[in-house]
C-alpha cells in the first residue's frame, strides 16, 4: 500500500476518533424556566396562548410556549436560529407542564461554554385509559448541534436512575431525532 494512502487512512481514523470523543468532558448547568427569570413576549388575546423568553447558557436562550394547557420549548441559538422541539407532537399530544429548571449539558470549547444537549422535566397527562387518566413525569432529552436541535430521548422520570440515564442519553452523540407520534 502506498505510504501516502496509509498516512491518509491513519489521519482519517484519528480524526474520526477525535470527533467521536469531542464531548467527553461534559458538565451540567441549570437555568430557570419558570418565575421571574422568564419574560412574556407574546400573548394571544383570543386563545390565551403565550410565549416566554427564558435565559440559557453560552448565548443560547429558550422560548417556552403554552397553548391550550400544553407546553413546548424552542432553543434559540447564539446566532438567533430557532429550533422548535415540538414537545406537543414528539412527546405527548395531551396536557403537559414543565418543571422549573432546564439542565444544559455543556462543553468547554476554547474557553467558551457550548451547549450540546438540553434536559427538561415534563409533566404529562397519560390518557391511554380515558376512564383513569394518570399524571406522570418524563425527562425530555434534546441534542443541540451547530445547525440543528431535536428531541432524541424520552425517559420515564419514575425509573431508577432516570437523571443519570437522561445525562447518558444527552452525552451520547449522535442520535436520531424522534419523530412526531413517537410516544
Q: pLDDT tens digits for the chain (183 residues)?
A: 444 433 333 333 333 333 333 456 899 999 999 999 999 999 999 999 999 999 999 999 999 999 999 999 999 999 999 999 999 999 999 999 999 999 999 999 999 999 999 999 999 998 888 899 899 999 999 999 999 999 999 999 999 999 999 999 999 988 999 998 645
- pLDDT, position 174: 83
Separation of alpha carbons 150 and 77, rounded Å: 13
Residues facing 140 on adjacent strands: 120, 154
Closest CA to 101 of 70, 138, 55: 55
Residues of the chain by 3-state class (helix, strand, coil), percent to 5? 20, 45, 35
Confidence at residue 24, expressed as pLDDT on a 0 to 100 scale: 64
58: three-class secondary structure by DSSP: coil
In angstroms, the CA 50 to CA 27 distance is 32
CA 123 to chain centroid: 15
What are the strands, taking DSSP E only, across 56-95? 61-67, 70-76, 82-84
Helices (H), ranges, 21-171? 87-90, 162-171
Nearest to 79 by CA among 164, 149, 152: 149
Report the DSSP pairing between strands 27-32 and 96-109: antiparallel
Amino acid at each position: 500500500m502506498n505510504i501516502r494512502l496509509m498516512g491518509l487512512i491513519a489521519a482519517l481514523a484519528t480524526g474520526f476518533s477525535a470527533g467521536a470523543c469531542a464531548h467527553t468532558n461534559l458538565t451540567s448547568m441549570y437555568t430557570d424556566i419558570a418565575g421571574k427569570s422568564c419574560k412574556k413576549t407574546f400573548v394571544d388575546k383570543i386563545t390565551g396562548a403565550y410565549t416566554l423568553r427564558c435565559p440559557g447558557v453560552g448565548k443560547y436562550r429558550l422560548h417556552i410556549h403554552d397553548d391550550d394547557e400544553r407546553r413546548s420549548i424552542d432553543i434559540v441559538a447564539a446566532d438567533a436560529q430557532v429550533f422548535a422541539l415540538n414537545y406537543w407532537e414528539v412527546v405527548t399530544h395531551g396536557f403537559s407542564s414543565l418543571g422549573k429548571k432546564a439542565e444544559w449539558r455543556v462543553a468547554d470549547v476554547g474557553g467558551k461554554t457550548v451547549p450540546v444537549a438540553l434536559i427538561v422535566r415534563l409533566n404529562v397527562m397519560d390518557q391511554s385509559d380515558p376512564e383513569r387518566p394518570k399524571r406522570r413525569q418524563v425527562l425530555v432529552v434534546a441534542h443541540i448541534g451547530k445547525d440543528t436541535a431535536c428531541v432524541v430521548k424520552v425517559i420515564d422520570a419514575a425509573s431508577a436512575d432516570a437523571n443519570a440515564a437522561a445525562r447518558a442519553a444527552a452525552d451520547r452523540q449522535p442520535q436520531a431525532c424522534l419523530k412526531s407520534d413517537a410516544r
